[in-house]
C-alpha cells in the first residue's frame, strides 16, 4: 500500500504543479490502483449537512465516484442522481448491492460538457470534485452549475483546504478562491467552515473546507 500511495501522490502532485487539473485518464488510473478516497462509507460532513436539512428536493452528486455519499443520501429518502465521467466507476456503482435498498440514478457524463442537458436540481453535492479542476475548469464548472441548479437551490462543496500542508493530494482550495469562483449576483455564500475529508491517506483525515453556496 505505501508504494501505491507514493505513486498516487506523485500523480496528484504533477497534476497540481502543472495547473492542468486532474484528467479523466488520471482518475481512471487512480481507480485502477485503489483510490484513496474510496473509504466504503459517506463523508461525515455529508451526514452533518443531511441532518441539518441542507439537502432538499432533487439532489445531484457531481463526481460521485463509487457512490458512497449518493447511497447514503438515497437511504435518507432523497432522490439522487450521481454523475461521474469514469466509466468503470459508474458501472460498478450501478452494480453495487446498495442499489437494492437505496436506488440511485448513475450517469456517465463530463460535467464540464456544455451540451449536457440535465436537471434542474435543487441541491448539488460536490465531495472532492472541485479540487481536481484547473483555474480554467473552475470557471467552466461554475457556469455549468449555474445552469444545473434551480434558482434558490444550493451547492454543498467539500474540498481540500489550503490549511492541509502535508505533501501530496489534490489542489488546495482557499475561502477566497471559492468566493471568487462563485460570486454575486449569481451566487450567495451562506457559509464556509473548516472541516475534514476522510481518506485512506493523510492518516485518515485531511483538512478541508465545507461550503454552502446558494444559487440566486
Ligand atoms: C476525488 S473523487 C471524489 C469521489 C466522491 N465524490 C467521494 O467523495 O468519494 C472525484 C471524482 O470526480 C470525478 N470527476 C472529476 N471531474 C469530472 C468531470 N468533469 N465530470 C464528471 N466527473 C468528474 C472523478 O472521476 C472522481 O470520481
Report the CATH number that the domain containing residue 83 is assigned in CATH: 3.40.50.150
- Grid cell, residue 102, equals 437505496
CA gap 195, 206 in Å, rounded: 9
Residue ranges making up the domain that contains 199 = 2-215
How far does residue 111's CA lie from ligand 1's centre (Å)?
10
Backbone dihedral angles phi then psi of residue 37, each to the nearest 5 degrees: -85, -5
Does the predicted model carry a pTM greater than 0.85?
yes
How far does residue 61's CA lie from ligand 1's centre (Å)?
9
pLDDT tens by residue, 94-126: 999 999 999 999 999 999 999 999 999 999 999
CB-ligand 1 contact for 64 (6 Å cutoff): yes
CB-ligand 1 contact for 169 (6 Å cutoff): no
What is the tally of structural domains in the chain?
1
pLDDT tens by residue, 68-83: 999 999 999 999 999 9
How far does residue 89's CA lie from ligand 1's centre (Å)?
10
Quick one: 120 exposed, middle or buried, by C-beta within 10 A (0-12, 13-18, 19+)?
middle
**Which of ligand 1's atoms lies nearest the C-alpha of 158?**
8
Amino acid at each position: 500500500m505505501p508504494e501505491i500511495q507514493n505513486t498516487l501522490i506523485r500523480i496528484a502532485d504533477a497534476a497540481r504543479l502543472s495547473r492542468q487539473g486532474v484528467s479523466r485518464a488520471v482518475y481512471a488510473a487512480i481507480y485502477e490502483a485503489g483510490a484513496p478516497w474510496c473509504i466504503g462509507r459517506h463523508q461525515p460532513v455529508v451526514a452533518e449537512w443531511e441532518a441539518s436539512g441542507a439537502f432538499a428536493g432533487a439532489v445531484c452528486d457531481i463526481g460521485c465516484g463509487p457512490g458512497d455519499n449518493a447511497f447514503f443520501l438515497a437511504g435518507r429518502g432523497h432522490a439522487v442522481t450521481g454523475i461521474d465521467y469514469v466509466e468503470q466507476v459508474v458501472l460498478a456503482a450501478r452494480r453495487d448491492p446498495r442499489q437494492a435498498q437505496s436506488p440511485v440514478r448513475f450517469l456517465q457524463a463530463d460535467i464540464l460538457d456544455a451540451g449536457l442537458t440535465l436537471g434542474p436540481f435543487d441541491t448539488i453535492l460536490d465531495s472532492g470534485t472541485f479540487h481536481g479542476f484547473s483555474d480554467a475548469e473552475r470557471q467552466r464548472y461554475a457556469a455549468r452549475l449555474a445552469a444545473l441548479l434551480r434558482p434558490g437551490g444550493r451547492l454543498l462543496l467539500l474540498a481540500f483546504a489550503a490549511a492541509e500542508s502535508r505533501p501530496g493530494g489534490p489542489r488546495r482550495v482557499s475561502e477566497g478562491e471559492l468566493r471568487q469562483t462563485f460570486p454575486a449576483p449569481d451566487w450567495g455564500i451562506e457559509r464556509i467552515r473548516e472541516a475534514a475529508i476522510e481518506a485512506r491517506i493523510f492518516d485518515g483525515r485531511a483538512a478541508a473546507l465545507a461550503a454552502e453556496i446558494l444559487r440566486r
